[in-house]
Amino acid sequence: MGGGAVTDDSDPERHPQLLLDTHVLVRLTDGSGKLGAQAREAIRGAYREDRAFISAITPWEIALLVSKGRLTLDKDVLVWVRSALGVPGLQLAQLSPEIAVASTRLPWEMHADPADRILVATARHLGATFVTADRALLEMAGKGHFAAMDATA
């Protein structure tokens, strides 16, 4: 899901709630510039209107990547996560029983990665657009299973 330039930040159809994939949150905070201009603008708009979310699974996923040496942060992982959550406009979407159960009942074939399943179930539960660069997830969204935005666009 892409779209052109957005001119009315108050229109929820044009600027829906956004759920950021774990790698998108990391890219936003590390200044790597690996996000596309369109995605950055949409995220900025969501931050301004308190419509940007991360899933409760995201801190776990970041901590797991750090513990496995696949991600290096400039500070302790808990301090990093708390700092990221302190950014105005970013909210933590709780892992409710409904989301947990829904992640096991997605109505299409999906890979077994529990974090991805929870992220997708969270986006569906919130009615949010999922911002990701994960090609497999974007392909599923392209089939109409959930709304997504390519983070590299």
* DSSP class per residue in 50-103: T-EEEETHHHHHHHHHHHTTS---SS-HHHHHHHHHTSTTEEEEP--HHHHHHT
Q: Does residue 78 surpass a pLDDT of 90?
A: yes
Q: What is the mean pLDDT of the chain?
A: 89
What pLDDT is stored for residue 100 in this prediction?
A: 97
pLDDT at 7 over 80: no
Kindly state the average pLDDT of the residues 96-100: 97
Q: HSE-up of 30 (CA within 13 Å, CB side)?
A: 15
Q: Is the pLDDT of residue 3 over 80?
A: no
Report residue 149 CA to chain centroid gap: 10
Say yes or no: domain 18-150 is CATH 3.30.70.3270: no
Residue 3 carries which DSSP code?
-
Structure tokens at 18: 């956004």
Judged against a pLDDT cut of 70, whether residue 8 lies above it is answered with no
Cβ(88)–Cβ(61) below 8 Å:
no
11, pLDDT greater than 70: no
Pairwise CA distance, residues 35 & 132, whole Å: 10
Q: Which of 17-21, 105-109, 144-148 has the weakest average pLDDT?
A: 105-109
With residues binned 3-state (H G I as helix, E B as strand, rest as coil), the percentages for the chain, rounded to 5, are 45, 10, 45
Q: What residue spans define the domains of the chain?
A: 18-150
Mean pLDDT throughout 110-117? Answer: 88
In angstroms, what CA-CA distances link 129 with 36, 63, 72, 77, 126? 16, 24, 28, 26, 9
Q: How does strand 52-55 pair with strand 18-20?
A: parallel
Torsions phi, psi for 92 (to 5 deg): -95, 120
What the block records as the tokens of 80 is 């990093």
pLDDT tier at 127, thresholds 50, 70, 90: very high
pLDDT the model gives residue 17? 97
Mean local confidence (pLDDT), 19-44: 90
Q: How confident is the model at residue 75 (pLDDT cuts 50, 70, 90)?
A: very high
pLDDT-derived band of residue 4, with 50, 70 and 90 as boundaries? very low
Task: Taking residues 25-51, report their average pLDDT.
Answer: 90
Give the span between the Cα atoms of 111 and 117, in whole angstroms: 8
